[in-house]
Amino acid sequence: MGLWNVLFKNEGAKNEFEIRLHEKISKILPEDDENSQVEIACVAGLLARVAYTDMVVEPQEKKAMCEALAKYSKLDSKKIDLVTDLAIAEMKDLAGLQNHRYGIILSDLWGAEQKHRLLETLFAIAASDGSTTNEESEEIRNICHSLKLPPNNYLAARATVLDSLAALK
C-alpha cells in the first residue's frame, strides 16, 4: 500500500479532496518518488495549518512557510511557491480536518530530532507575524501529540518564541 493510501485511509473510496491533493502534488513534483511527495505534503500541510489557525495567512507567514520548505526539501523556489500556495488553498478548503494525519505519517517517517525541529519551525511560522496566539500554540500542541512526541518537546519548542507569545504580552 502506497503512502498516499495510508495518509488518506478512509473506510471506503477516497473523497474528492484526497484525490485532488494527490494529483496536484504529483503534478508539481513529478520527478519525486511517492515518499518524497508525501513527506513534502505533510510538512506543507502542517505549516499551512499553523499559518491558517486564525483563518488568515499573513504575507510574513507565507514567506516563513517558503523558507521552511526550503529547509525541508531540495525544491527550487518556483516549486516551493507552488507547494506553499497549494497547501494554503487546500487547508482553506479542508479547514484543518485532516491535519492530524500529516503528523501521524511524519511520526512514522522521522526520528525525534527531526520532529522536534519541525515543532520549532511551526512556532517560527506562528511568530512570523509578530505574535504567537494561544490558538496557534494549542494547534502546535495538537500537532506535537500527532507526531507522538512527549510534552517536553512542545515546551522546549515553545520556549524558542517566548518574546512573541500573546499570553505573555
Q: Which pLDDT belongs to residue 64?
A: 96
Q: Tell me the pLDDT band of 41, cut-offs 50, 70 and 90.
A: confident
At 149, is the secondary structure helix, strand, or coil?
coil
What distance in Å separates the CA atoms of residue 79 and residue 70, rounded to the nearest whole number?
10
Judged against a pLDDT cut of 50, whether residue 56 lies above it is answered with: yes
**Domains in the chain: how many in total?**
1
Q: What is the pTM assigned to this prediction?
A: 0.86
Calpha distance 20→25 (Å, rounded): 9
Residue ranges of the alpha helices (H) in the chain? 3-7, 16-28, 34-51, 59-72, 77-94, 99-109, 112-127, 134-146, 151-158
Is pLDDT above 50 for 11? Answer: no
Query: Would you say 59 and 73 are in contact if contact means Cβ atoms under 8 Å apart?
Result: no
Domain extent at residue 77: 3-8+15-168
**What does the pLDDT look like over 29-39, one tens digit per residue?**
999 988 888 88
> By mean pLDDT, which of 8-22, 45-59, 68-82, 110-124 is the weakest?
8-22
C-alpha dihedral (97, 98, 100, 104), degrees to nearest 10: 170
The yes-or-no verdict on residue 1 having pLDDT over 60 is no
Chain segment 103-151, per-residue pLDDT in tens? 888 998 999 999 999 999 999 999 999 889 999 999 999 999 999 999 9
Question: What CATH number is attached to the domain comprising 149?
Answer: 1.10.3680.10
155: cell is 515546551
pLDDT above 70 coverage of the chain, percent: 80
Best CA proximity match to 27, nearest among 17, 37, 16: 37
